[in-house]
Amino acid sequence: MAKIRLKNPGKPIAWLIRAICETLRFRVVDHSGITGQDMDQRTWIFWHNRMFIFPWLHQSLFPGRRGAVLTSASGDGQIIADVCADFGFFPVRGSSSRRGAQAFMALADCVKAGHDIGVTPDGPRGPRYRMNMGVIKLAQLTGGKLMPVHVRYDRALRLPTWDGFQIPLPFSVVEIEITSPFTVPRRMTEEECEQQRAELERRMIAGAGEG
């Protein structure tokens, strides 16, 4: 049987995200006070398995704001890039194993240009809930503010992937907790960088709501 290949597989996934998100009941807990007002550039940090709603959420909370998202250079990363592009995000392709240096500098340019950035610090391969150092180095280089966001679904489908990817079920409740900005000093030793990474990881794990 011939396989059907979509020219842009990201398009139907973007439609699915919109269809599900329109049914969800959102409860936003904003400790930063930035929703509903103009803001400076932010680098949004969220776990890989909670990314499903983020393109729709950013577009809904901050319409018209420019955004960029880091996706891997793999085939799966291309699909994610296509999905995000459908929501108006500029995709930056690369990871620690492929095109890492180029992606890092492209993200830095986006930060300096005022784009909001979306980063999953345990992606694209994990381990799950393990914060990589790249996001700390990015904030150190650019002076950009890191904005950790916790997403908790009351009902969700969990896929059998390395991260236990979660898709909220229609009509479920989603709690979005936007924390206060996590600031990183511009000058740090490697030991201090690791301390910053470990502290941000601790806060993100605590907010994941998994015990």
Three-state SS annotation for the chain: CCCCCCCCCHHHHHHHHHHHHCCCEEEEEECCCCCCCCCCCEEEECCHHHHHHHHHHHHHHCCCCCEEEEECCCHHHHHHHHHHHHCCEEEEECCCCCCHHHHHHHHHHHHHCCCEEEECCCCCCCCCCCCCCHHHHHHHHHCCEEEEEEEEECCEEECCCCCCCEEECCCCEEEEEECCCECCCCCCCHHHHHHHHHHHHHHHHHHCCCC
* pLDDT score, position 211: 56
Average pLDDT over residues 81-86: 89
Is residue 143 scored above 90 in pLDDT?
no
Percentage of the chain with pLDDT > 70?
89
pTM: 0.87
What are the distances in angstroms from CA 155 to CA 40, 69, 152, 175? 33, 26, 9, 11
* pLDDT score, position 2: 41
* pLDDT score, position 108: 85
Percentage of the chain with pLDDT > 90?
49
* pLDDT score, position 206: 93
Residue of 64, 26, 65, 66 whose CA lies nearest to 149? 26
Is residue 4 scored above 60 in pLDDT?
no
* pLDDT score, position 99: 60
Which residues have C-beta within 8 Å of that of residue 31, sequence separation ≥ 6? 177, 178, 179, 180
